[in-house]
Structure 1
């Protein structure tokens, strides 16, 4: 894996990771990825909390003449009957508004992908971008209840788009930042740890916000999440620095270790010519991009709309909704920690080509979820625990495709152009984030079990499409244009001096 040139260079002993600045920055990135999702995906539980039924009121009113109340329904839409009439439940949105608001964040995320990547590469001010994004995201979250109550849906939609853009400013600089704070030996561990915050947020947001809803209402969800974002910004001012050379507390040993391993990679990028025509005409590249589009539509459609499905179809309380909506993400997080090392182990044995290994993992991670979704679509609401179990299995199994399948194929086929291709991939692949909520809200206007069954059939079809596209057209072998030419001899001493400063 390592070049002979790197092996010829004098090796510097790696300082201890525990207590190091690189571990501190990695943990700050973990919290950043956690907070960015916490402040954006909480809207699903906010909607559930807004439409919470007060059973005592519905029971007492159920016998009144001409009443349309139902005492056995946990959640209802667009009805003042049977609702908790306290101040916390005075805002309700119809299905179209819900779908539009759930999708709004991804307009901001998609629109900022290329810009944030360019800003990181051009100016290298990752700290400023992350702190700015977190601060604005936190402030908008705190102001959200006021926007909802006094400005209405259009202005809250605009606020959600801004939150999506700020989310991109928080997450996109993580990889450029960690490139300066990790080495090839620790990159897998530290990058994986940094992005584990995404899985943690998916697992923890719904139970946590469900509990907050029960204790103090939907407004408190926005306040709590916003304070988390603002607090991170304050701490990041003192703990995050763009380079080892600018960190006032990094040890000399750690600085030398990091700088010495990064000289070659930084020098290579200075004279790299991007083969745009090769990238844009490559079938394997578009196979991954197209696969990612369908795959993300299925996975994100599931995790965003699961609380709404549980509310509409399954008979669970708000707290139970939060717990069961989080179960798929919890199991997926556990598999996330296992599948990466498993893929590395299988690949290291070199029994099969990397393409065969990736396609095998990919089929497992897409075909099994497709089968689970098709089965769920045929089950009645009375089988609610079986439904939750099948959704959990199906969603968690996507980690096989994500960690060992198509997702990181760019690193094999074009290692020197991963950033460029990944920017294109994210711009197109994240579009289902604002498409799926609107589609699903239109498919489930009354939220009946029959309407939701068609949604799960659609999920199964999306997983199937993702499976077939990469299986037929995917390729993980190094492409002829995939590595930049060696720029030639470079004086290490000068590079070290400029890096440290």
Structure 2
């Protein structure tokens, strides 16, 4: 076949070759995302050792007097009791030695602060990612994160909670730039058949932030540096990354100096290059098609649920472990980190397997996304519900295994809705990513709201209501994506200009097939 001979002439370039330039870019993206995710989410673990839990418990008991609520430390099984557990105001407290008296409402406000900040920059970020330097947007984001991280302990200790909150909101300005900039870089650097793997590599930064970062937080909290050391460490790592990123990365493969001819040719032949500078600025954004496209809407629905789970795990899992399982500080760090370590392995294994099935023609891009997403949502939803029924401080390893199962489910979502998001409209991936991320940030605001409504004393019954709401929505979002999700480029997804200048790939293949028939005759 002529088409097969033409494809065979295109040089193959292995993504996982040591000299693969696109692999280097993806790894730096991953490390940058690690820095951002770590600086944003470390407040989840540090809050357990920032706050004076005893003083907060006394305030809570006074403001929520309820005769029906009577707790006694004698009700805790003997094997769950340890030195840090005490009873104050009729409430059992597992104190990690914090000094700041921040009420639960203040804590929830700080958890949500970066999400509020990102709402201001997400939409503009997508616009600028499509038209300016995605590399510089990503760089600016991490610089912003690093400065805010270094300043946070000083503001928290020496000023008011409101000023600390404002610093986290400013940090959130950088949060809004991360995903649109990264998605644009992935679209420019990675062909479709590798996007699941590339997306998994990039987003593994989130898992490394949990798997490696949480034990580091616990170590700092237990050391003489205490919790401020976490923020100084994170800011320093972020600054080092910024220096490396600015020296090494380019916006597109054609601008890279250190790249093999083989890889350069491979990328030129396999990436849908609709982002030429002469055309980008002329693209009119098809708002109507974006907001009426069911595949795009299914991504919006999915990210809302996935981001609720992200915040529930990153911000509140350590608190759940502390209040329900009564874990010690260091044990809490290790238990909270374990699901992220599992995710690192399962995410990469799943994405490579899915991309192999797509490359060999055994499964379409669309069904790869659908299978990945429905597996993710059903697994997450099921085990969130099971945790609320089987969590037991005498056997914390059972709860740990269920959180790890949630991690496995969560890891496949990157090959689901996220790969779909990168594939639907290459010409508008920046703005669609921004819109999707905007919806996702609204989803991130839901867990702090639910916690503020249902969690008073930190009992399993209170957490159960929160977990049930998140799990039910997550499962329903998976069903919606299974029906309407897609993994192929939409008819309008390459942009008006590129459609005028270049025939569609399908039309080219059809013409080649006609040519083959003519030659054979």
User: Normalised by the size of structure 1, how large is the TM-score?
Assistant: 0.80
Residues in 2 aligned to 1:8 and 1:356: alpha-carbon distance in whole angstroms: 24
Q: CA deviation at 1:330?
A: 1.4
Q: Which residue of 2 aligns with 1:93?
A: 102
Match of 1:287 in 2: 298
Residues 23 and 353 of structure 1: CA distance in aligned 2, closer, same or farther (over 3 Å): closer
Does residue 1:461 correspond to 2:477, yes or no?
A: no
Shift in alpha-carbon separation, 1:390–1:15, aligned structure 2, 3 A = closer
Partner Cα separation in structure 2 for residue 189 and residue 41 of structure 1: 24
For residue 139 of structure 1, the aligned residue among 129, 141, 147 is 147
| 1:488 alignment partner, one of 479, 483, 501 | 501
The separation in 1 between residues aligned to 2:260 and 2:405, in whole angstroms, is 48
The alpha-carbon deviation at position 154 of structure 1 amounts to 0.8
**Structure 2 Cα separation of the partners of residues 251 and 459 of structure 1:** 45
In 2, Cα distance between equivalents of 1:260 and 1:346: 23
Deviations 1:152-204 (A, max 9, x none): 11111111111122233355423333455555676655554333222211222
Counterpart in the other structure of 2:46: 46
Per-residue deviation, residues 448-487 of structure 1 (Å, max 9, x unmatched) = 2221222222232222222332234445566444454533
The yes-or-no answer on 1:339 pairing with 2:347 is: no
Q: What is residue 159 of structure 2 aligned with on the other side?
A: 151
Q: Gaps (5+ residues) in structure 2? A: 55-70, 74-80, 504-521
The CA deviation at 1:337 is 0.7
Equivalent residues of 1:127, 1:240 under 8 A apart: yes
For residues 180 and 88 of structure 2, the distance between their equivalents in structure 1, rounded to whole angstroms, comes to: 39
Contact 2:30–2:205, Cα closer than 8 Å, also in 1:
yes
Q: Relative to 1, partners in 2 of residues 1:185 and 1:142: Cα closer, same or farther, differing over 3 Å? A: same
- Distance across 2 between alignment mates of 1:10 and 1:353: 23
Mark the CA change 1:105 to 1:254 in structure 2 (over 3 Å): closer, same or farther: farther
Two-structure CA RMSD over aligned residues (Å): 3.9
SS at match of 1:408: helix
Q: Residue 92 of structure 1: SS of its match in structure 2?
A: coil
Q: How does 1:235-384 map to 2 (within 5 A)?
A: 235-243=244-252, 250=258, 253=261, 257=265, 260-261=268-269, 264-267=273-276, 270=280, 272-347=283-358, 355-382=366-393, 383-384=395-396
Match of 2:185 in 1: 177
Residues 103 and 76 from structure 1, CA distance in 2 versus in 1: closer, same or farther, beyond 3 angstroms? farther
Matches within 5 A, 1:153-232: 153-182=161-190, 189-215=197-223, 216-232=225-241
Maintained 8 Å contact 2:424/2:493: yes
Contact 2:343 2:407 in 1 (8 A): yes
How far is 1:252 from its partner? Answer: 7.8
In structure 2, the residue matched to 1:64 is none
Task: From 407, 419, 441, give the equivalent of 2:418.
Answer: 407
Deviation track 1:91-122 (CA, whole Å, cap 9, x = no partner) reads 13121111110111112223322222222332
Q: Is the 8 A contact 1:372 1:394 kept in 2?
A: yes
**Are 1:398 and 2:410 an aligned pair?**
yes
Alpha-carbon deviation of 1:32?
0.8
Question: Shift of residue 433 of structure 1?
Answer: 1.6
- The Cα offsets for residues 117-153 of structure 1, whole Å up to 9 and x where unpaired, read as 22233222x3433333222321221111110012211
Is 1:74 matched up with 2:84? yes
Name the SS of the counterpart of 2:501 in structure 1: coil
Counterpart for residue 65 of structure 1:
none
TM-score by length of 2: 0.78
Is the contact made by 1:15 and 1:254 (CA closer than 8 Å) also made in structure 2? Answer: no
3-state SS of the aligned residue for 2:119? helix
